[in-house]
């Protein structure tokens, strides 16, 4: 394998041949181009570890190309060594200000060029390692955040995350007088499922119900495992009547679903409340209203939807 991939931008034919030959004998892979536009095309289609850039090119100033490379998202991390016969302090400063990482004056010793290339490769390696570590750290933080916000069994939001969203959406609904509904769902006779089939089967039932809930609500809705066999869905910009449509999908889908290792059909009871009620003026009162309505659904026979706020009870 090559020690590194080098893009060599040099319009002088004899200088280009000699330098390319020298670098390839040292084990580098060298792509040699003679102008700025060719260099731009090369970095778009190939990956390089170091760029050796002549300051004076036939189609543009090397400093202009250097600036472009350092502003390009895909090439800004590639070390650039400017090579030029312009070797005054002002020229060197201008080249470094354009984004060059190093500057070599012509004529240069080949041993010095090799040393500068090795130094640039070391810098590139350190940058790549740092970027990899940063990516790994970001991935780890994302996983930690996901774990802290989700229920490990179902993948739904946990109660902690739901509370944050609930407060935000409730405040928006109060401020803008917009509708907001809360759907509370409880698996009917779940204790009997655990007692009869065991907690492993019970966990499968909870996961299946959670998946049905996810499929039955909108992307803008927030579904949460409230605790045990109880779930809750927050539906922004939604009245009781529209929230009931989602509830009907959940009720029917659960009733129709074939749960593995469970002989009897599994059903759920659902209670719905919204902020249109005058007495629902806090987050806790909205949750209490949905919970109370759910209790009514269970008391009236289970496998049904009870809607708070005076709406008629619906049976599916």
Dump pLDDT digits (tens) for 20-77.
Answer: 999 999 999 999 999 999 999 999 999 999 999 999 999 999 999 999 999 998 899 9
pLDDT for the residue numbered 313: 36
Residue 311 pLDDT > 50: no
pLDDT for the residue numbered 283: 95
pLDDT for the residue numbered 2: 65
Instruction: Tell me the pLDDT band of 182, cut-offs 50, 70 and 90.
Output: very high
Q: Give a three-class secondary structure readout of the chain.
A: CCCCEEEEECCCHHHHHHHHHHHHHCCCEEEEECCHHHHHHHHHHCCCCEEEEECECCCCEHHHHHHHHHHCCCCCCCCEEEEECCCCHHHHHHHHHCCCCEEEECCCCHHHHHHHHHHHHHHHHHHHHHHHHHHHHHHHHHHHHHHHHECCCCCCECHHHHHHHHHHHHHHHHHHCCCEEEEEEEECCHHHHHHHHCHHHHHHHHHHHHHHHHHHCCCCCEEEEEECCEEEEEEECCCHHHHHHHHHHHHHHHHHCCCCCCCCCCCEEEEEEECCCCCCCCHHHHHHHHHHHHHHHHHCCCCCEEECCCCCCECC
* pTM, two decimal places: 0.62
Domains parsed from the chain with CATH numbers: 5-140 (3.40.50.2300), 159-307 (3.30.70.270)
Dump pLDDT digits (tens) for 102-144.
Answer: 999 988 899 999 999 999 999 888 888 998 999 889 888 878 8
pLDDT for the residue numbered 261: 84
Percent pLDDT > 90 in the chain is 79
Residue of 49, 101, 151, 229 with catalytic role: 229
Please say if 163 is a catalytic residue: no
Average pLDDT over the chain, rounded to whole? 91
Which has the minimum average pLDDT: 8-17, 63-72, 125-134, 226-235?
125-134
pLDDT for the residue numbered 314: 39
């Amino acid at each position: 394998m090559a020690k590194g991939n080098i893009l060599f931008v040099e319009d002088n034919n004899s200088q280009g041949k000699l330098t390319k030959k020298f670098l390839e004998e040292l084990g580098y892979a060298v792509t040699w181009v003679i102008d700025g536009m060719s260099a731009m095309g090369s970095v778009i289609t190939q990956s390089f570890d170091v760029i050796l850039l002549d300051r004076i090119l036939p189609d543009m100033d090397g400093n202009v190309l250097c600036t472009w490379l350092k502003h390009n998202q895909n090439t800004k991390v590639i070390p650039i060594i400017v090579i030029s016969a312009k070797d005054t302090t002002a020229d060197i400063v201008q080249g470094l200000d354009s984004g060059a990482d190093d500057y070599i004056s012509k004529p240069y010793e080949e041993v010095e060029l090799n040393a500068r290339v090795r130094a640039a490769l070391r810098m590139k390696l350190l940058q790549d390692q740092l970027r990899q570590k940063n990516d790994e750290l970001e991935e780890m933080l994302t996983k930690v955040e996901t774990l802290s916000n989700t229920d490990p069994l179902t993948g739904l939001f946990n109660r902690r995350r739901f509370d944050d969203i609930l407060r935000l959406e409730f405040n928006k609904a109060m401020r803008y007088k917009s509708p907001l509904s809360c759907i509370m769902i409880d698996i009917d006779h779940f204790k009997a499922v655990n007692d009869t089939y065991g907690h492993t089967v019970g966990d499968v039932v909870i996961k299946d119900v959670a998946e049905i809930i996810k499929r039955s609500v909108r992307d803008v809705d927030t579904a949460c495992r409230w605790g045990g066999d109880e779930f809750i869905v927050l539906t922004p910009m939604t009245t009781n009547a529209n929230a009931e449509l989602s509830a009907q999908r959940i009720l029917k889908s659960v009733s129709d679903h074939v749960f593995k290792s469970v002989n009897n059909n599994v059903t759920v009871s659902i209670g719905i409340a919204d902020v249109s009620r005058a007495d629902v003026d806090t987050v806790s009162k909205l949750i209490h209203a949905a919970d109370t309505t759910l209790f009514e659904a269970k008391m009236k026979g289970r496998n049904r939807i009870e809607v708070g706020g005076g709406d008629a009870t619906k049976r599916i």
